[in-house]
Chains A and B, each alone.
Chain A
Amino acid sequence: MNRVRQGAWRGPQIVAVCLLVVAATEAAARKGNEPVYSDPFDIAGGGASLTRASKEGRIYANPALMAYGGKFHRWFGLTVSALSTRETIGTAQKIAQGSSDDGQSEEQSDERGGEREGGDTQEFVDTLFESPVRVGWGAALSYVSANVGLGAFSRFEPDFRARKFGQHGLPEVVFTAESYHGGALALASQAPVRWLSFGLTFKYIYALEPDVAVEVSDQESIRGLQDQNLTPDVDLHYRGMGADAGVLLFFQGKHVDLSLAGKVDDGGGLAFVEGAKPAPKEYAPQDFRQVVSGGAGLTLHSTADAIHFAVDYRDILNAYEEEQFKKVYAGTKIILRTYLGLAAGFYHGYPSMGAELDLLLLRLAVTTYTRELGDHPGVDPRRIVMGSISMGF
């Protein structure tokens, strides 16, 4: 059997794979009510970012946040992050390396006496039966000032799971991914009163949301999935333009601040059109729906330390028809001596936590959280650990 090597994101190979697969219709890794890009430390704080977001995260979380801060210049720098499911970091590393061993396909004897085909794919599938694998990376290059933000972001999170009882009973491997890339221009203003700010973010987005299921007997297609390389072909991505609008009411006291926020994501909806190269229909993204959200925050602070409590309620108008546990994001961020940040919260109803070390030009963060891909708690969770490094000032 010919092996499919590197580059599942190259057009012909994707088409070849998709000819052999069917669309998976169950819980899928598609965008819901959250922003298209989130800063890792904001996720650690439960994803509640409408009233307080990390520096570059403000462009995507709530542009009205840019207006508040001590200096005109807020941030210029690059953040790179990588994530993996906690149980399968080893497998995730192999996938991230884009390899499934260079050896030939091997016949292996099953302990019950039969012969199972394709040693490498068998091992891969057996691993997936134990636990799903999600890997991914994100990058954001940003300039943020009090009134203007410019950003380019890239986020790619492939997700593999195998089920002994697939959508229609037979064992299958399901591959989904969130592949979002693009640029953003954000504007913010604090006029006419200091306690009120407005912001707008214009986005140009490249998106793909592969969602396919392969039967476990289909060795060649599984090898194709296994050999994903993590450099998506932008030309295959669908494209769309959209805008977010945010508002922030910020009441500042000597030691206590109160903030209330509102935001409309993807106002009027964001429709995608095909990219330069045709992508299979199983890879087409769903149009982003308009999401209306509100949030509240309370900050207790001294000159050097602060503790911030926040809660967001996303998708008030229920555009994505998600359950409540996916709409409420709540958490706490603690900033100690301005260089150490700790965060904990509830993300999709599961505990999340993380830490951030700010060393002037270098920022390191680690986050752990659980994301529910199913419609209800415990249906299809991913326990994720994410690390990030930022360079900037």
Chain B
Amino acid sequence: MTVRPSTSILWLVALVAACGGSDNLADCDKGLGVVPCSERTPEEQARLALDRGDFDKAIELLTQLVEEEPENYGRYTLLAAAHAARAEVAVVDIAMSSFSGGGASAIDQVTAFLPSPSEVGAEAYAHYVQDMGVALTYLKLIPPELRAETSSEKYAKSAQLQLGIYGAAYSIMYLNQFIITTASGGIDPAKLATMSEEDALTILSTLAEAGQLQAAVGSPELAAKIDTTLTSVDAQPGSTQKEKLQNYVRTTKGGGGATSTLTATATAIGLGVMP
């Protein structure tokens, strides 16, 4: 037997062709099926779904995992992140943002990274707000001592940071439901009248909690600006939180300067402002 160069190269070409491109032989989805495939764990599948942007699939898988092992709290933070991603909250941009700018309020800056009711429609926006609420719920299901700053759990800091970011996002998105029209994107005082006292309490308490968390583990600059906003709301005339918040919106909607948070918010996201 002799080995000719042409024969050798033929062998090599055949082998390369048999490789079937760049896929893994043992990949259960893309493999050739000639070797036993290596099945990914549900958690790995969920992570891949997140990376691909298939948030419905990721939420389905993670919810199932949480139900199967409710005491594995490390998964709660990932599930919360999946809900926030489905709500189109740009967490990466928020996390990488500087909140030290002098002019715009931190709330304006955060709002710039949130979806707009006029862009996605009222129904979708309501789902987004709901998703953010679910994200917060899962994070709060983690026992406080396990997500405290003093906790040794690896997910503790992430849980605290997420609570701070999602809390701020949720409260602003919740508020925007009552002030931004989906048709024009402008601020509508008539919608503001539909806000209930319970809604106002939810918005303000969530924002206050987010501010405290930001002060502790997040951005002190953002915390300070949240505190300024809450102080401004509290200084408004009114006997209930709803009236104070409504007056705050009315006061700031047409004015300029540092106190016109919501006007600046609307401008920042490219929306018109009611005359």
Chain A residues within 8 Å of B, Cβ to Cβ = 22-23, 25, 107, 110, 112-118, 122, 125, 129, 163-171, 215-217, 255-256, 300-302, 305-307, 323-325, 328, 331-332, 334, 336-337, 342, 344-346, 348-351, 353, 370, 372, 374-379, 381, 383
Contacts and interface: CB of A to CB of B under 8 A. Distances in A.
Interface string B20-59: 1111111111110001111111001001101100000000
Contacts of A332: 11-12, 15
B3 A171 contact: no
25 contacts: A110-B112, A112-B113, A112-B269, A113-B112, A114-B113, A164-B91, A165-B47, A165-B51, A165-B85, A168-B158, A169-B78, A170-B91, A217-B95, A307-B3, A307-B11, A323-B38, A331-B15, A336-B8, A342-B12, A344-B12, A346-B25, A349-B26, A374-B44, A376-B39, A381-B24
A334 B21 CA distance: 21
Contacts of A115: 97-98, 101, 109
A178 B48 CA distance: 25
Contacts of A337: 5
B4 A165 contact: no
Contact of A324 (B9, B36, B78): B36
Contacts of B36: 324
A110 B157 CA distance: 26
A125 B96 contact: yes
A125 B40 CA distance: 27
A110 to B, nearest CB: 6
B113 A305 contact: no
Interface in B240-275: 268-269
Interface of B: 1-5, 7-9, 11-12, 15-16, 19-31, 35-41, 44, 47-48, 50-51, 74, 77-78, 80-82, 85, 90-98, 101, 109-110, 112-113, 154-155, 157-159, 161-162, 268-269
A107 B1 contact: no
A378 B113 contact: no
B40 to A, nearest CB: 4
Contacts of B22: 350-351, 370, 383
A307 B15 CA distance: 12
B95 to A, nearest CB: 4
Contacts of B110: 114
Contact of B96 (A113, A116, A169): A116
Given A112-B93, A349-B26, A372-B24, A169 B3 contact: no
Contacts of B44: 374-376, 379
Given A170-B81, A334-B9, A350 B24 contact: yes
Given A168-B77, A168-B154, A169-B80, A117 B159 contact: no
Contacts of A372: 24
Contacts of B8: 305, 307, 334, 336, 342
A168 B73 CA distance: 10
Nearest to B1: A255
B249 to A, nearest CB: 20
A110 B93 CA distance: 8
Nearest to A22: B154
B1 A300 contact: yes
Given A170-B91, A170-B161, A351-B16, A325 B5 contact: no
Given A165-B81, A300-B3, A301-B3, 7 more contacts: A112-B269, A113-B109, A114-B109, A164-B91, A170-B91, A346-B19, A351-B22
B38 A377 contact: yes
Nearest to B90: A112
Given A255-B2, A334-B9, A324 B26 contact: yes
Contacts of B21: 351
A163 B94 CA distance: 15
Contacts of A381: 24
Contacts of A163: 51
B78 A334 contact: no
Contact of A217 (B24, B26, B96, B162): B96
Given A22-B154, A351-B19, A374-B44, A168 B78 contact: yes
Contacts of B94: 114
Contacts of B47: 165, 379
A255 B2 CA distance: 7
A348 B113 contact: no
B16 A344 contact: yes
A171 B78 CA distance: 11
A117 B5 contact: no
A199 to B, nearest CB: 28
A325 B24 contact: yes
Contacts of A216: 92, 95-96
A169 B162 contact: yes
Contacts of A166: 158
Contact of A170 (B40, B48, B162): B162
The list of the 9 closest CB pairs from A to B, nearest first, reads: A169-B81, A351-B19, A168-B158, A377-B24, A325-B26, A113-B112, A117-B98, A377-B27, A349-B24
A336 to B, nearest CB: 5
B15 A305 contact: no
A325 B27 CA distance: 9
A353 B11 CA distance: 13
A16 B113 CA distance: 31
A5 to B, nearest CB: 22
Max count, chain A CB within 10 A of own CB: residue among B1, B4, B8, B155: B8
Contacts of A348: 24
Given A165-B85, A169-B78, A171-B91, A379 B96 contact: no
Nearest to A351: B19
A383 B23 CA distance: 11
Nearest to A169: B81
A302 to B, nearest CB: 5
A187 B47 CA distance: 47
B121 to A, nearest CB: 19
